[in-house]
Chains A and B, each alone.
Chain A
Amino acid sequence: MKTHNFYQKEEKELISINITPLIDIVFLLLVFFMLATSFIQKSTIEVNLSSGKTVEIENQKNTVVLILNKKGQVYLNKKLINISNIRNEITNIIEKNPKYKILIKSHKKIAVQKVIRLIEEVRLAGTDNIKLINLEK
């Protein structure tokens, strides 16, 4: 009879691990990662610090001049062009002569963002031979 009672009592007792501290720590970790992480993908763009005087480059025959004016309009060899067409236009020029240099003349007050966009379009066209200067006027 005694043994029977013992088993009956054991069945009633439930062993459970206290998981509250675990939840606390996991919550803290979650809050930390939610606040400290960012989903922005960082990138970089390399800029050529090419030597050579601008006047010399500009006067060379195989130089394409891209002008970025105050309004953000782009001129390719003095012809107004849409920024989305630059890649194709420069690709065509480079296909004829890969030695072409690109001279980007930007207005002093134009935002860096627009200059970088232009550099990237030229890069995507397949050339890395870029020189940057400011428009004098």
Chain B
Amino acid sequence: MSSKKKIKQINLIPLINIIFLMLIFFMLAGTITTIDPYKIKVPESIIKNDPLTPFLTIIVKKNGEIFIDTKNRKKELQKKDYLEILRARKPNEISLKIDSETSSEYFLKILKILENEKIKKVVIETNYVKQ
């Protein structure tokens, strides 16, 4: 008697198909990002350049606080601290992650410091926006 009972099942195959398609879309179209502890809104850019993986990243917050991408990242650095790091590491290339609303005063100050430290290349991280 029990073998004659019909078990009603919902057909899950179309659901799986759609989920697979969505999974493939997210895997291919998106890029995996890391969580930014500083919550920096980088400036928008109208020129598309390939992002670099620099040796050192300097983070400048909206209020001018400076951080260097190191282990003690939560600690704000004073000028002598980051000069020490720069001199110890001697990077040729530096990435600058600056908030788009930061005053240009802080931006130019940091550029001046990097210029004095004879850094060869400075790149600013941006988000590409189509015009």
Contact = CB atoms under 8 A, between A and B. Distances in A.
Interface of A: 12, 19, 22-23, 26-27, 29-30, 33-34, 36-47, 49, 51, 68, 106-117, 120, 123-124, 132-134
B107 A115 contact: yes
Given A49-B122, A133-B108, A26 B23 contact: yes
Interface centre among B26, B50, B95, by most chain A C-beta atoms within 10 angstroms, is B26
Interface string B56-93: 00000000000000000000000000000000000000
Given A42-B125, A108-B103, A112-B98, A47 B111 contact: yes
Contacts of B31: 37-39, 42
B95 A44 contact: yes
Nearest to A68: B104
Given A12-B3, A109-B103, A43 B48 contact: yes
A112 B101 contact: yes
Main secondary structure of the interface of A (DSSP, over half): mixed
B115 to A, nearest CB: 4
Counting contact residues on chain B (CB < 8 A from A), the size range is 35 or more
Contact of B114 (A39, A46, A49): A49
Interface in B31-52: 31-33, 43-52
Contacts of B119: 49
B30 A46 contact: no
Interface centre among B45, B98, B99, by most chain A C-beta atoms within 10 angstroms, is B45
B107 to A, nearest CB: 5
Nearest to A51: B115
Given A106-B104, A112-B104, A116-B45, A26 B20 contact: yes
Nearest to B44: A113
Given A38-B32, A51-B115, A113-B100, 17 more contacts: A12-B3, A23-B12, A26-B20, A42-B125, A42-B126, A43-B48, A44-B125, A45-B126, A49-B111, A49-B115, A110-B103, A110-B104, A111-B102, A112-B100, A120-B47, A123-B47, A134-B108
A108 B12 contact: no
Nearest to A124: B47
Nearest to A132: B108
Nearest first, the 4 closest Cβ-Cβ pairs linking A and B are A37-B30, A33-B26, A108-B105, A43-B128
